[in-house]
């Protein structure tokens, strides 16, 4: 096994086509030599969500170009990589299949090992790529498609402590933005609008806070926001800008409270010395600050990787591939694309699935 590993990573499980080259030397921080992401947001903009067929076709068209761009930017030729890592699930099956087929073709053509990576493991191992974090640690994954607490114990052992039983928080941000007349993506627009709002004006529910464990629920909160909006519309025929901001601030405060309280509980249960966040919702400054405070109170280290590595990317897949290769875990041409692939297969199946497809 060489002491320096250079991997090509490929990601196509949702609506981002991505390729990256990551190099790791034993005992030194890993280097991201390139990380190319082509987002498909515009392609799906008219449909109110990701359309699996459109996504799969776009991935199939773009993957070769992204791989070429990633290798060129990294200054690495295909024969120089040690292996090819690819997201083999969970995600939208057409996209995952496009990625797996592309990786198989490259691996067979160049005579390189093929490594199938779980997309969620990619997110979960990112704090080791960015901050060299040691196991064990807690990860809160909060995006448009995922919401779960994972205790990372090794590169192959993750325990799910809880997750959403319905919507993912990013999905709730997007739907609530639509309800109160703010543009997509909802998260950043709600955050901006909330800056002018009163988070205490509307008494919105904090679902499942009274229940033990780390499960969460966001769909009732969305419905409660809808009712508050309807009451305002019935009262004065529409929403004033201040109403919009107060609704945004009250909704954001409720999400923030749920995430913070459940994070405190997850830290207490797991005794993890560190907590890392990942996913688009981790960009929210109010939520980030609340989580950091909870971590500080619990005496745990708080890690928030740079945004480009919190959202979907292929550097995390290349890195997860490096972790697997170091353990001697490689796949062969029988590697299959899996729409569902829970990281912790001992945990009961999640009830909910995000708008971007069933995840785990
Ligand atoms: O991780 P991500 O880029 O994509 C996947 O879900 O795969 O997350 C996107 C989600 C969207 O729902 C978006 O509204 C939300 O993250 N988001 C935010 C913020 N920025 C993005 N939510 C709250 N506050 C933000 N600042
Ligand atoms: Zn993701």
207-247: per-residue pLDDT in tens? 888 888 999 999 999 999 999 999 999 998 999 999 999 99
How far apart CA 346 and CA 148 sit, in angstroms, is 15
Residues 138 and 247 in one domain: yes
Judging by beta carbons within 10 Å of its beta carbon (0-12, 13-18, 19+), is residue 101 exposed, middle or buried? middle
Judging by beta carbons within 10 Å of its beta carbon (0-12, 13-18, 19+), is residue 358 exposed, middle or buried? middle
The pLDDT value recorded for residue 185 is 82
Q: Which ligand is nearest to the CA of 15?
A: 1
Q: Spell out which residues line ligand 1, taking CB within 6 angstroms.
A: 14, 143-145, 170-171, 173-174, 185-188, 191, 279-281, 283-284, 311-312, 356
32 vs 356: which has the higher pLDDT: 32
Domain CATH for 117: 3.30.420.40
Residues 149 and 296 in one domain: yes
pLDDT tens digit sequence for 4-20 = 999 999 999 988 899 99
Residues 53 and 87 in one domain: yes
pLDDT tens digit sequence for 314-334 = 999 999 999 999 999 999 999
Residues 29 and 40 in one domain: yes
**End-to-end CA separation in angstroms for the chain:** 33
Q: Which atom of ligand 1 is nearest to the CA of 146?
A: 6
Judging by beta carbons within 10 Å of its beta carbon (0-12, 13-18, 19+), is residue 296 exposed, middle or buried? exposed
The pLDDT value recorded for residue 203 is 95
Residues 23 and 100 in one domain: yes
Instruction: For the chain, give the percent of residues with pLDDT over 70.
Output: 95
Residues 232 and 291 in one domain: yes
pLDDT tens digit sequence for 171-187 = 999 999 999 999 888 89
Residues 288 and 147 in one domain: yes
**How many folded domains does the chain comprise?**
2
Residues 280 and 345 in one domain: no
- Residues 22-40: what's their mean pLDDT? 91
Residues 278 and 185 in one domain: yes
Residues 119 and 142 in one domain: no
Give the CA angle between residues 237, 243, 244 to the nearest 5°.
105
Helix (H) or strand (E) holding 170: helix 169-179
Residue closest by Cα to atom 19 of ligand 1: 187
Residues 119 and 145 in one domain: no
Last residue of a domain, one of 308, 327, 344: 308
pLDDT band, very low/low/confident/very high, at 55 (cuts 50, 70, 90): confident
Instruction: For the chain, give the percent of residues with pLDDT over 90.
Output: 78
How far apart CA 283 and CA 50 sit, in angstroms, is 21
Nearest to 35 by CA among 60, 5, 4, 10: 10
Nearest to 357 by CA among 110, 117, 96: 96
* Residue 94, domain extent: 4-125+311-358
Residues 93 and 156 in one domain: no
Q: Is the pTM of this model over 0.75?
A: yes
Q: Which residue has the tokens 């004006």?
A: 201
How many Å lie between the centroid of ligand 1 and the Cα of residue 108?
Answer: 36
Q: Which ligand is nearest to the CA of 87?
A: 2
């Amino acid at each position: 096994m060489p002491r320096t590993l250079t991997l090509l990573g490929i990601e196509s499980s949702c609506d981002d086509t991505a390729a990256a080259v990551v190099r790791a030397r034993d005992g030194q921080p890993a280097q991201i030599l390139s990380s190319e992401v082509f987002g498909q947001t515009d392609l799906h903009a008219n449909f109110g969500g990701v359309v699996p067929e459109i996504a799969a076709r776009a991935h199939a068209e773009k993957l070769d170009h992204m791989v070429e761009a990633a290798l060129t930017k990294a200054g690495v030729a295909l024969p120089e990589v040690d292996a090819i890592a690819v997201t083999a699930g969970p995600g939208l099956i057409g996209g995952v299949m496009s990625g797996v087929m592309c990786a198989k073709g490259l691996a067979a053509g160049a005579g390189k090992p093929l490594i199938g990576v779980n997309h969620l493991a990619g997110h979960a191992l990112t704090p080791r790529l960015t901050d060299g974090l040691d196991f064990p640690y807690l990860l809160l994954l909060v995006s448009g498609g995922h919401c779960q607490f994972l205790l990372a114990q090794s590169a192959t052992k993750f325990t799910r402590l809880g997750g959403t039983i319905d919507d993912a928080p990013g999905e709730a941000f997007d739907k609530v933005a639509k309800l109160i007349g703010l543009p997509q993506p909802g998260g950043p627009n709600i955050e901006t609008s909330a800056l002018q709002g009163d988070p205490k004006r509307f008494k919105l529910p904090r679902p499942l806070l009274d229940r033990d464990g780390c499960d969460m629920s966001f769909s009732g909160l969305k419905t409660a926001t809808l009712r508050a909006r309807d009451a305002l519309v019935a009262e004065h025929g529409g929403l004033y800008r201040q109403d919009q901001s107060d609704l945004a601030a009250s909704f954001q405060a409720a999400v923030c409270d749920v995430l913070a309280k459940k994070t405190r509980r997850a830290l207490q249960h797991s005794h993890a010395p560190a907590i890392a966040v990942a996913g688009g919702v981790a960009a929210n400054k109010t939520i980030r600050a609340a989580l950091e405070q909870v971590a500080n109170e619990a005496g745990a280290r708080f890690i928030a990787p740079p945004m480009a590595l919190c959202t979907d990317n292929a550097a995390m897949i290349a890195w997860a591939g490096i972790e697997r290769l170091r353990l001697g875990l490689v796949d062969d041409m029988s590697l299959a694309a899996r729409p569902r692939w829970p990281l912790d297969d001992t945990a009961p199946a999640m009830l909910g699935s995000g708008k971007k497809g069933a995840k785990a």
